[in-house]
Amino acid sequence: MTTLLLPPMEAPVRPFEDTRTRLRALAAGAPRVYAVACIDEEPRRRWWFLGGPERQQRIEMLYERALLDVDDPRIAAEQVAGALIHAIVGRVLAPYALEGRVWDPGLENLWLHQDSDGCIDWAGIGDDTLRVLPGDRAAGARHVVVLPCEDAMAVWTAHRATTALTAVHAALRALAPLSTFRFWGIVGRTIVTGAAQLPVLGGASRRTAARRGQALLDAFVAAGYPVRGLAGLGQPSL
């Protein structure tokens, strides 16, 4: 009897899972630093919805936790702002800079996870649809939308991220002095620092990451947000 050997079936394309796996490998020993979870796959313990009614209370708890470590309310507010900005912008910058892919960083799509000490250690998304660039191997797959170019991706990402960032800033300003210039300067610093560090961690093109970081900064500025106020933070521009 002759046995017919068929070639192995090609595994289905899972763009979000592929991206998440690569992001988990960026920080050795700390896979949650850049990756996000798909919230439908997670138990809800220690998770909270950034777009929900508990946002103010949760951010107040983060601020009070920061005050246990520092006496200056301004520094405590900036520490909390930095953690929240990383969750919103720093994480989505990683796939954009390295792969030309982004998930939705909008207010109604983001979840945050806190560790046993009450600090943010992870982020999640409700809708794992990816936006990708033309020519991406995932184009045509389910839960994938192709955007026309890098600049369009930067504009879309900045637009969606501002819905979360403005809500976070409003919550923090209700607790401590944190000026518009200072808050958006931290956003800019997050992008500048990430665009410089991520290609080193991911073995990707520094030029491409810098160009995409610049495009994201430009998109925020065009929308009216002063992310280029980096001089006061002692950070160089891209």
The tally of domains found in the chain comes to 1
DSSP character for 176?
S
Specify the long-range contacts of residues 51-57, CB closer than 8 Å, at least 24 apart: 51/107, 51/108, 51/109, 51/110, 51/164, 51/167, 55/167, 55/168, 55/171, 56/171, 56/174
For residue 109, what is the domain's CATH number? 1.10.510
pTM: 0.90
pLDDT of residue 11: 47
pLDDT of residue 117: 87
The DSSP code sequence of 14-37 is -HHHHHHHHHHTSSTT-TTTT--E
* Within-domain flag for 139: yes
Which residue has 């939705």 as its token pair? 104
Q: Residues of the chain whose pLDDT is less than 50?
A: 1-11, 230-238
* Within-domain flag for 234: no
**Amino acid letter at 124?**
G
pLDDT of residue 31: 94
Alpha-carbon torsion (11, 15, 18, 21), positive or negative: negative
Full residue range of the structural domain in which residue 194 is found? 15-23+30-224
* Within-domain flag for 144: yes
For 165, the token pair is 């960032």
Our measurement of the distance from residue 78's CA atom to the centroid of its chain's CA atoms, rounded to an integer in Å, reads 17
What angle (nearest 5°) sits at the alpha carbon of residue 168, between those of residues 199 and 68?
A: 90
pLDDT of residue 231: 36
* Within-domain flag for 9: no
In whole angstroms, how large is the CA radius of gyration of the chain? 19
pLDDT of residue 229: 67
* Within-domain flag for 60: yes
* Within-domain flag for 3: no
For 135, the token pair is 């020519």
* Within-domain flag for 4: no
Q: Quote the CA–CA distance of 232 and 40 in Å, as a whole number.
A: 41
* Within-domain flag for 233: no
Longest dimension (CA), the chain: 81
